[in-house]
Amino acid sequence: MTTKTSSPSGIGAQLRSALSVNQIKTDTLSGLTVALALVPEAVAFAFVAQVHPLVGLYAAFIVGLITALFGGRPGMISGATGALAVVMVALVANHGVEYLFATVVLMGVLQIFAGVMRWGKFIRMVPHPVMLGFVNGLAIVIGLAQLGQFKVKDAAGDFVWMTGAPLYMMLGLVLLTMAIIWLSPRLTKAIPAPLLAILAVSLIVIGFDLNIPRVGDLATIAGGLPQFHIPMVPFDLETLKIIFPYAAILAAIGLIESLLTLNLVAEMTDTHGGASKESIAQGAANVVTGFFGGMGGCAMIGQSMINVKSGGRTRWSGVSAALFLLAFILFASGLIEQIPLAALVGVMFMVVIGTFAWRSLQIMTKIPRADAFVIVLVTAVTVYSDLAVAVIVGVIVSALVFAWQAAKRIDIHVSTEEHGWKVYELRGPLFFGSTANFHDLFTPKSDPEDVVIEFKEARVWDHSALQAIDSLATKYEEAGKKLHLRHLSPDCQKLLRKANKFMEVSVIEDPHYEVAVDYSELFGNKEAPETDAPKA
């Protein structure tokens, strides 16, 4: 009698299969949760841009689907966003929605170009304090955006703040939603907590016929499939002059928000994302969206956080969210319109709590004051202006702070060699910020006939540094003295070769360190000057 035993490979395959099935289920439910949260967001942003709600919903579907399939990181969610909508307002108001569609197509082309050129890699230059300010500011913006759901129309058709029983009921349901999201993972993980909360609160509202705002009060989401549509604008230079500035701004905002979200999601899930791939996917999605009547979009940090925290990890989570959204538009608009806004507001408030970097408040007094200032500055600019401006301002301020601090690090040690040469041992980076201090370190009038600048502990970074060396050499030459450079690094040598038209200083040999530069090698065919360099 023979006994069959399962091979390790067979057990492994079964485990992978089970994990795969469980992940697909988790991703599907997570996608459903995201789709429910996308509806009011897309409708609200369409209102901000002054276009029909379906223009926002189609953008959420198309951009979400394409980026989910081809984006730089599985699990990210893209769609119509407020950061883009506020830029579109003036364009739509002054030129109409057809110009918006043309702008979105051009926006996508610019993003594809940025991806092909691999400009997405420059997102690495965003310092961590700017990232903290970005997530904090975005969390506040998401939270403030939910306050609009606490308004209702009065008899005159104007939106006014809720008062009395409707307000208390709305607040109670929001808090109930948040409580369910907080407690349900302790009881079961079979259903994503946000989806369970939306279903529970919706059943309560519909079952008791509570009179509170629902999705249908914003606008009807019923519609058909998006139709191919070439933007009806004149194809001439005048149109390009109108749409190009808007397209460039939208492309920049979309890429910055998408790539920062890419980094944030990658950090949360301990994975890596492709910045260039994401840029191309975002661009392709916007090109298609513009031809199918959508308002364009980019990555959405709020919905991405919902997806990640609901367990969405693969591309199927984003694809299913887009497909569910399309299904809502085609088949289930009446049912979705019955969902209470309180449930969706509660979900977004939990996103705000999870997105805000609370630890940044604890470390404010422990980090350099400049970094603390950048965090606060980026947060404030994100709230009062927009994300792109905030990130650019944060990077500029951080760069200036770094340049100022690096400029103060240049130092010098002076010594005299046996044969009477004066040696300046330079330490630190020589660049535009430190050239003023560099000049103050030398005394050409009182120095001996031969002076050496020792670059072993220093680096020459830019043209300003080369000009500073050239200016110093001129001063020594006018005083009838000779300036020598020693221990130039390979990158410094490269800069000097490029500057051979104006650099007139000699470079002494130093075989002891084997890093000295041959004069003729640096300055082309010029005859190397004689030097009395000491033997090593």
- Highest mean pLDDT range out of 295-299, 363-367, 460-464? 295-299
Residue type present at position 163: T
Where in the sequence is the domain holding 173, given as residue range(s)? 12-357
Mark whether 223 and 134 lie in a shared domain: yes
Cα 419 from Cα 21, distance rounded (Å): 81
Q: Which two tokens stand for residue 486?
A: 């020693």
Select from 357, 373, 399 the last residue of a domain.
357
Q: Comparing 10 with 295, which gets the higher pLDDT? A: 295
pLDDT of residue 495: 62
Give 457-484 pLDDT, tens digit per residue.
Answer: 888 888 788 888 888 888 888 888 888 8
Separation of first and last alpha carbons in the chain: 86
pLDDT band of residue 503 (cuts 50, 70, 90) is: very low
pLDDT band of residue 450 (cuts 50, 70, 90) is: confident
Mark whether 309 and 416 lie in a shared domain: no
Select from 357, 386, 403 the last residue of a domain.
357
Mark whether 435 and 320 lie in a shared domain: no
Write the CATH number for 479.
3.30.750.24
Mark whether 418 and 349 lie in a shared domain: no
Cα 302 from Cα 254, distance rounded (Å): 15
Residue 455: what are its φ and ψ, rounded to 5°?
-105, 15
Q: Rounded to two decimals, what is the model's pTM?
A: 0.74
Mark whether 342 and 461 lie in a shared domain: no
Over range 158-177, report the average pLDDT.
Answer: 91
Over range 74-99, report the average pLDDT.
Answer: 89
Q: Which two tokens stand for residue 93?
A: 């108001």
Mark whether 229 and 144 lie in a shared domain: yes
Residue 419 lies in a domain: yes
Mark whether 189 and 336 lie in a shared domain: yes
Q: Does the pLDDT of residue 531 top 70, yes or no?
A: no
Q: Does the pLDDT of residue 116 top 50, yes or no?
A: yes
Residue 6 lies in a domain: no
Give 144-163 pLDDT, tens digit per residue.
Answer: 888 888 888 777 778 889 98
Lowest mean pLDDT among 161-175, 311-325, 376-390, 520-534: 520-534
pLDDT of residue 111: 96
Give 189-225 pLDDT, tens digit per residue.
Answer: 778 888 899 999 999 999 999 988 988 888 888 999 9
Residue 372 lies in a domain: no
Mark whether 347 and 431 lie in a shared domain: no
Select from 357, 387, 419 the last residue of a domain.
357
The percent of residues above 70 in pLDDT, for the chain, comes to 88
Q: Does the pLDDT of residue 512 top 50, yes or no?
A: no
Q: Structurally, how many domains does the chain consist of?
A: 2
H/E element, 123: none
Residue 217 lies in a domain: yes
Mark whether 322 and 422 lie in a shared domain: no
Nearest CA to 374 among 140, 142, 139, 132? 132
Nearest CA to 264 among 118, 128, 160? 128
